[in-house]
């Protein structure tokens, strides 16, 4: 049996059809975790560009996963494929914001021209991949952008910072990236645990956990007041 072809049954709530209900719900769980992280980091009152970018990462990723749950899963039948771009674009912007946060945080420890180069590359990369996503309407490009941004930018810059400073915040962010990469692995190598809890649902739960680990990292960044 090809587990990738097992689809979650639709349900009806007050006569309204909901597709992939658990997957839509777990997407909303991720959104709630993201909005909580945004609220918490705002309430903490920490300053600096790296924290600002992380706050907006949480907010925009919350929007992206909410749109994904509603448009990409729950009510997909009511929208055409181009509506998926709303969530996809927002998630790509959110990953780019996390990239900028990591680059800004590492800037005191790298040459100025290197930091500026990666900040410009961050924008070029985002625009290029958004255009390709629009042309192809293929989610793989969104996934590539996410893995590239988290693994090769966020992870690399925070690993460099941690090696320089032993910053516990950077170390925690490395763990968060690991959790999110695990979520991407689960999403792309589906093992359907149950009809009502598939690989996408498990990936969303891991994303919610990763979000809270990211929050912990942001709260413990030692240089956040000055970067």
Q: Looking at residue 6, what is its pLDDT?
A: 54
Q: Specify whether the CB–CB gap between 157 and 117 falls below 8 A.
A: no
Q: Looking at residue 195, what is its pLDDT?
A: 80
Residue whose C-alpha is closest to residue 223's, from 78, 107, 55: 107
Contacts of 40 (CB under 8 A, 6+ apart): 215, 219
Q: Looking at residue 224, what is its pLDDT?
A: 55
Residue whose C-alpha is closest to residue 222's, from 96, 62, 46, 97: 46
Distance of alpha carbon 38 from alpha carbon 176, whole angstroms: 16
Say which CATH class 14-219 falls into: mainly alpha
Q: Looking at residue 19, what is its pLDDT?
A: 87
Low-confidence ranges of the chain (pLDDT < 70): 1-7, 224-227
Q: How do the domains of the chain map onto residue ranges?
A: 14-219
- As given in the structure block, the two tokens for residue 202 are 């498990």
């Amino acid at each position: 049996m090809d587990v990738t072809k097992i689809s979650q049954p639709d349900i009806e709530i007050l006569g309204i059809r909901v597709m992939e209900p658990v997957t839509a719900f777990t997407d909303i769980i991720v959104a709630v975790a993201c909005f909580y992280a945004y609220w918490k980091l705002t309430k903490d009152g920490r300053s600096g560009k790296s924290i600002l970018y992380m706050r907006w990462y949480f907010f925009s990723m919350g929007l992206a996963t909410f749109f994904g749950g509603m448009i990409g899963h729950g009510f997909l039948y009511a929208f055409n494929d181009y509506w998926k771009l709303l969530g996809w674009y927002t998630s790509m912007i959110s990953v780019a914001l996390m990239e900028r946060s990591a680059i800004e945080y590492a800037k005191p420890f790298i040459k100025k021209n290197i930091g500026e180069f990666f900040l410009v590359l961050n924008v070029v990369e985002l625009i290029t991949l958004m255009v390709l996503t629009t042309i192809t309407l293929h989610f793989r490009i969104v996934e590539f952008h996410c893995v590239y941004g988290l693994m090769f930018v966020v992870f690399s810059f925070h690993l460099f910072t941690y090696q320089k400073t032993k910053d516990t915040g950077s170390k925690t962010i490395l763990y968060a990236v690991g959790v999110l990469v695990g979520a991407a692995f689960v999403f792309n190598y589906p093992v359907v645990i149950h009809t009502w809890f598939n690989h996408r649902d498990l990936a969303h739960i891991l994303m919610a956990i990763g979000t809270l680990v990211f929050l912990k990292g942001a709260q413990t960044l030692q240089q956040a007041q000055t970067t």
